[in-house]
Amino acid sequence: MIIKKSFCIVFLTGGLGLLSCQNSTRMIATPIPTKKMAKVTGKPFLDLKRGHGVYMRQCAQCHEHRLPNTVTVPAWHDKVDSMSALAGLSKKERADLQSYLSEFSDR
């Protein structure tokens, strides 16, 4: 009985720890645009927000959540151009995605 309780406590604690790691990694890996960020970058907040949505909804279906800043702007443009037809992105979605990614990329 004591062993079962100990196992349950260890299992639940470990499971919650893994969940918290995933959530914190996801939050770090995919910066959420803010109005302050839009003001600093000079890009419309709604464009950045929609671009983030496309990134989360379309890209994350097949790819791991990567920090957008791990790729240069030209490399993101090439990736988005090559994947947009496969992902079924509209021209507006592609433009919003490019705006979002360019704000977090290594130049």
Contacts of 15 (CB under 8 A, 6+ apart): none
Two tokens, residue 81: 């151009």
Rounded to whole angstroms, how far apart are CA atoms 3 and 33?
47
The beta strand positions in the chain, using DSSP E, are: none
pLDDT tens digits for range 78-94:
888 889 988 999 999 99
Residue 102, pLDDT score: 84
Q: Provide the CA 105 distance to its chain's centre, in angstroms.
A: 12
pLDDT tens digits for range 15-73:
444 444 444 344 446 788 999 989 988 999 999 999 999 999 998 888 877 666 777 88
- Predicted confidence (pLDDT) at residue 77 exceeds the cutoff of 80: yes
